[in-house]
Amino acid sequence: MRTHILLLVEDDDDHADLVASHLDQKGSQQFRLHRARSATEALERMTGEDFDVILLDLSLPDSGPEQTLETFTTRFPDTPIVVLTSLAEESLVQRAIDSGAQDYLDKSLMRGDVVTRSVRYAMDRKRVISRLERQNDELKRFAHTVAHELKTPMQAMLTALHLVHEAAGESLDKPLQQLLELGRSSGDHMKNLVNDLLAFAEADPDQPRADAVDLHAVTRKVIDSLQLMDGAEHCRIEVDGTLPVVAGAESQLRQVMENLISNAIKYRREEDPVVIIGAAREPGRWVIRVEDNGVGIRPEHQQRIFETLYRVASDNPVPGTGIGLGFAKGVIERHEGEIWVESERDRGSTFFFSLPANGSSAGDDAASPRDGGATTAS
């Protein structure tokens, strides 16, 4: 049986002896324990030695809890960390887990089986997480490569079909015209799928969310970019009031707005589309809405439409890939928000997503008009 090397970072001698005794109860052949009494000493040892697990007390003589947590989870992302804590530090424990720690031990409840189980679980969890992260990276690289490889021949095919249609469209009999149109529409669908795959593969799940993003300005840019979209010439898009400034990744939030507004234009009924975009401040968050008068969504589909590649079957299918809403859900959740829909068949849909309010005066200022109120595209 392999001996696992552990680093105990603990300044209290009694607590260190307690951990050591519990590990000895399960047999010293399983674990070899090294100790550091301060963050500085631990960092020096981690530089020159490899450890299987760090048992980390967050309150050290040369480092406060928040600093200790940030230092070790940032410097050693590949090493499993078990936080040593007390009941008074529950909120800190949660932040530790969110920051990358694999487990925690309440010092007042430690027993031999608890300590050894926590250490083993921490190593197992880290192995699983690392494997999943590698697989996810490989899948994203594969999607990116495939999308890029498909993009050039796809565009060449569409150009060739367009030239054929221009040169001989009217001279072809009806069945051949229908086949030509089928090829063009299928090619357009594949082109959209490739573009969505690229956006999905290029999205950075760890992108910092500290930038100030003016959703009002972003939405106006999106509206301008959709003017040439099929059906947009008869669409009225209104921004109700002024959208807020939020913390986030502008490129990703722009893609969310573009997806929701373009869907509102695409999934329309015979009457001209109307899209209304607005925001409301709720405790601790902003809620953005994109409301339309389109075909609506049946209740049984309203949860599943946010699954990647899920598309609602329809007698009158609308071009789409089933990636957009899944992508939007991932972006909003990475921004610590939620996304949902309220809809009634043949009455339209309202998509909502929430984003944390920054709690500063800037967020309140964002709700005041800066450019005269509503924005209309028609």
Q: Please write the tens of the pLDDT for every residue from 80-114.
A: 999 887 755 667 777 777 777 888 888 777 776 77
Q: Is the pLDDT of residue 360 over 80?
A: no
The per-residue pLDDT of the chain, averaged, comes to 80
Q: For the segment 116-140, what is each residue's pLDDT rounded down to a tens digit?
A: 888 888 888 888 888 887 877 787 7
Per CATH, the number for 4-127 is 3.40.50.2300
Geometric angle at alpha carbon 75, from 78 and 18, rounded to 5°: 75
pLDDT of residue 191: 77
What is the pLDDT averaged over residues 49-55? 90
Which residues have CB under 8 Å from 362's CB, separation 6+? 212, 245
- pLDDT confidence band for 207 (50 / 70 / 90): low
- In a 13 Å sphere around the CA of 15, the CA atoms on its Cβ side amount to 22
* pLDDT class of 59 with cuts at 50, 70, 90: confident
Average pLDDT over residues 145-170: 81
Predicted local confidence at residue 371, as pLDDT: 43
pLDDT of residue 373: 44
What local confidence, expressed as pLDDT, does residue 219 receive? Answer: 94
Tens of pLDDT along 254-301?
Answer: 889 988 998 888 888 878 889 999 999 999 999 999 999 988 888 877
The Cα 323–Cα 337 span in angstroms is 19
Q: What is the CATH number of domain 207-377?
A: 3.30.565.10
As annotated, the residues of the chain forming the CATH 3.30.565.10 domain(s) are: 207-377
Q: Once rounded to an integer, what is the mean pLDDT over residues 152-163?
A: 84
Q: What is the mean pLDDT of residues 214-220?
A: 93
- What's the pLDDT score for residue 374? 44
pLDDT at 338 over 90: yes
Name the pLDDT band for 345 (thresholds 50, 70, 90).
confident
Q: Where in the chain is the domain with CATH 3.40.50.2300?
A: 4-127
Predicted local confidence at residue 370, as pLDDT: 41
As a whole number of angstroms, the distance between CA 10 and CA 63 comes to 12
The two tokens of residue 26 are 């399960």
Average pLDDT over residues 211-233: 84
Stronger pLDDT, 339 or 125, i.e. the higher one:
339
Q: What is the pLDDT of residue 363?
A: 40
Structure confidence at residue 286 (pLDDT): 96
Q: What is the pLDDT of residue 3?
A: 83
Percent of the chain with pLDDT over 90: 21
Q: What pLDDT sits at residue 365? A: 42
Share of the chain above pLDDT 70, in %: 82
> Which region among 59-73, 141-155, 212-226, 246-260 has the lowest average model confidence (pLDDT)?
141-155
3-state secondary structure of 318: coil
**What confidence score (pLDDT) does residue 160 get?**
86
Please report, to the nearest 10 degrees, the dihedral formed by the alpha carbons of residues 13, 15, 21, 25 taken in order. -170
What would the mean pLDDT of 197-201 be, rounded to a whole number? 68
Which residues, in sequence order, are CB contacts of 345 under 8 Å at separation 6+?
Answer: 295, 296, 297, 298
Least confident of 13-22, 82-91, 236-245: 82-91
pLDDT of residue 367: 38
Q: Where are the alpha helices (DSSP H) in the chain?
A: 13-25, 39-48, 65-75, 90-99, 112-168, 174-202, 215-225, 250-266, 324-334, 361-365
Neighbours of 244 (CB within 10 A): 23
d(CA 200, CA 330) in angstroms, rounded, equals: 10
CB 63 within 8 A of CB 11: no
pLDDT surpasses 60 at 161 = yes
Least-confidence region, from 47-56, 69-78, 174-183: 174-183
